[in-house]
Amino acid sequence: MSTHDVYVVVNASPWNYLVPLYIFFKGLSVGALCISALYTVFRSERFKTLAFPAAITSLLAFIPVPFLLLADLHQPLRFWHLLVNFNPMSVISWGTWLIILYPLCLLWYIARLALSQGISIPVLKGVQESASTSQSQSTSGFGFRGLSILTLSLALLADLYTAFLLGVVKGNVLWNSALLPGYFLTSAVVTGAALVLIVYLNKKPEEKTVRTLVKIIQGALALEIFFVISQWITLGATSLQGQKALELLWKDPVYLIGDILLGILVPLVLLNKPSLNKKPVLMIGALLVILGGLLLRFSIVGVGIQAAGLWN
């Protein structure tokens, strides 16, 4: 028997384009830092020359984040309420502190990294002087590695918290999924790596490093495909709610054409057999990867809100 809605009220969601933008820029920053950490944490010498530009890229990508966060609040002048009213059950409460601690740690990390590579940053002169003092007090290289591990951990947590923020929303099948944190983190790494690739291609790139970077992007894109297929299967097989959400997702051109086709499949083709002779192709591929990451956030947030409206 058919049921037709004649008059159904769904109170509008206050979340707009600022939320996916916020998640996207945070992911970019975290992804770029992951590339830097390949040298500072995982000691991969191949990424030595990339470590500093990747860290700077991470910092620059983070700049819009606090502004987007504040602009998204409808009472931005009450931001300080977040600092004095901690609700341990709320993901945003944890996220607030991560968003404060991560960039502070990142600044310190960049200053120490620059010092270790003999680079002077006029803007961060004060931080560098403090870092220099603490470095001279440090008895071994463990101090910087510890800082690197701490910065990377904060970065990962800062990225993951938004996935949990969506994931704990009851009754929203698209968000309420164990796949979402892994999906978002993979997307963050791939977009961050793509941004670092663009920056690196504009410097004096080494063929081997470019190839390794592209391999990382390709691997992360393959992992993203795994998450996409897993999401489709679980949504389609679990419940009618899931099927309806999947239907909405498939009908969303931002998702299917933007994220899947332009953001994953086309770059996989363009980034195949990378070579410095194909610099423009690599640039376009990397740009599409970043675009795909942006559109993924828009579709997941937007369709999630839309899907929840069907069942209230």
Binding site for another protein (CB under 8 A): 1-15, 72-75, 78-79, 81-82, 85, 87, 89-93, 96, 165, 168-172, 240, 244, 305, 308-312
* CA gap 24, 31 in Å, rounded: 10
Q: Report, in Å, the least distance between residue 108 CB and another protein.
A: 26
Q: Report, in Å, the least distance between residue 251 CB and another protein.
A: 11
With vertex at residue 160, the alpha carbon angle to CA 15 and CA 146, rounded to the nearest 5 degrees, is 140
Q: Which is nearer to another protein, 40 or 162 (CB)?
A: 162
Q: Report, in Å, the least distance between residue 281 CB and another protein.
A: 40
Q: Which is nearer to another protein, 10 or 222 (CB)?
A: 10
CA 23 to chain centre: 7
SS3 category, 2: coil
* CA gap 264, 296 in Å, rounded: 10
Q: Which is nearer to another protein, 136 or 312 (CB)?
A: 312
Q: Report, in Å, the least distance between residue 179 CB and another protein.
A: 19
Q: Report, in Å, the least distance between residue 162 CB and another protein.
A: 11
Q: Which is nearer to another protein, 10 or 229 (CB)?
A: 10
Helix axes 18-40, 142-167, angle to 10 degrees: 150
Q: What is the CA radius of gyration of the chain?
A: 21
- In contact, 61 and 25? CB cutoff 8 Å: yes
Q: Which is nearer to another protein, 121 or 310 (CB)?
A: 310
- The single-letter DSSP state of residue 17 is T
* CA gap 276, 261 in Å, rounded: 25
